């Protein structure tokens, strides 16, 4: 059974900092891995999807890497902004997705 | 990207009553839909998987007679919480897949049972 761990559980940084969120998973037999953002009381917004054959994916200030063999993924956020404040969820992809508990990010202006 | 909607976005009901939540895929045919539940500050927990035209598969610990799932068409799945209790208060999120394995998520439904 897939288990997902996200570190840190919470993170507070000043605006402008670069930061890294970590995700580890136990079953490396995955099709892909997705990173999501969840604002309080809201649904999920898909940020990045990395196919199992890829090592990284970029979208704007976000960069996600995947090391499938070691069961790890990282989400790098460059030049953080207060609007980035949210919970970030990692989901190694086999259908259905299994989620970690997320990292609660606060970016202070 | 593909769009999934949920209705209602929030609902309050009295203990002992039933409430139905709808999940619709708006621009694609959803062969499989999933229902998740999320308690405050917790992760999403998969409740059940439903395929169009067949019975849902429930995760261990989820009561199928309490959480009735119907996937009657390729664009609609419903979750009915029967005889709701305050402990059923939660955030319910559906997702759907079509021809690709990528899951598309609905905006969620906040259920409060008083």
Span A8-18, pLDDT tens digits:
999 999 999 99
User: Within a 10 A sphere around the Cβ of A14, how many other Cβ atoms?
Assistant: 10
Q: Indicate if the pLDDT at residue B58 is higher than 70.
A: yes
Q: What is the pLDDT of residues A81-97, one digit of tens each?
A: 999 999 999 999 777 88
* pLDDT higher than threshold 70 for residue B1: no
Taking an 8 Å cut-off on Cβ atoms, the answer to whether B110 and A96 are in contact is no
Q: Does residue A95 contact residue B97 with C-beta atoms inside 8 Å?
A: yes
Q: Find the distance separating the first CA and the last CA of chain A, reported in whole Å.
A: 40
- Cβ A46–B34 below 8 Å, yes or no? no
Structure tokens at B106: 């609905």
DSSP H helical ranges for chain B: none
Q: Is A92 on the interface with B (CB under 8 A)?
A: no
pLDDT at B107: 94
Mean pLDDT of A29-56: 90
- pLDDT per residue as tens digits for the range B81-103: 999 999 999 999 999 988 877 78
User: Is the pLDDT reported for residue B108 higher than 80?
Assistant: yes
Beta carbons of A43 and B44 less than 8 Å apart: no
Say if CB B92 and CB B21 are below 8 A apart: yes
Question: Residue A97's pLDDT is what?
Answer: 87
Chain B residue with the nearest C-alpha to that of A32: B102
Please write down the long-range contacts of B47-55, taking CB distance under 8 Å and 24 or more positions apart: B47/B79, B49/A96, B50/B77
- B110:A41 CB<8 A: yes
Is A101 within 8 Å of chain B by CB?
A: yes
What integer best gives the mean pLDDT of chain B?
93
**CA of B33: which chain A residue's CA is closest?**
A96
Question: Which burial class, exposed, middle or buried, applies to B68 when counting CB atoms under 10 A from its CB (0-12, 13-18, 19+)?
Answer: middle
Say whether A101 and B97 touch across the interface (CB within 8 A): no
């Amino acid at each position: 059974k897939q288990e997902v761990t996200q570190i840190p559980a919470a993170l507070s940084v000043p605006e402008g900092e670069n930061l890294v969120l970590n995700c580890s998973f136990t079953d490396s037999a995955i099709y892909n891995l997705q990173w999501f953002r969840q604002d309080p009381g809201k649904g999920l917004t898909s940020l990045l999807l990395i196919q199992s054959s890829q090592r990284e994916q970029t979208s704007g200030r976000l960069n996600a890497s995947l090391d499938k063999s070691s069961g790890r993924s990282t989400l790098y956020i460059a030049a953080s902004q207060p609007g980035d404040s949210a919970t970030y969820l990692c989901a190694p992809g086999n259908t259905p997705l299994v989620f970690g508990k997320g990292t609660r990010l606060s970016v202070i202006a | 990207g593909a769009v999934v909607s949920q209705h209602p976005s929030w609902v309050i009901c009295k203990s002992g009553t039933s409430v139905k939540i709808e999940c619709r895929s708006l621009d694609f045919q959803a062969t499989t839909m999933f229902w998740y539940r999320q308690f405050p500050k917790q992760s999403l927990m998969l409740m059940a998987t439903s395929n169009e035209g067949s019975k849902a598969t429930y995760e261990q610990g989820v009561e199928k007679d309490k959480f009735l799932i119907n996937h009657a068409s390729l664009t609609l799945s419903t979750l009915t919480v029967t005889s709701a209790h305050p402990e059923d208060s939660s955030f319910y999120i559906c997702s759907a897949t079509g021809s690709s394995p990528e899951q598309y998520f609905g905006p969620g439904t906040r259920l409060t049972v008083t």
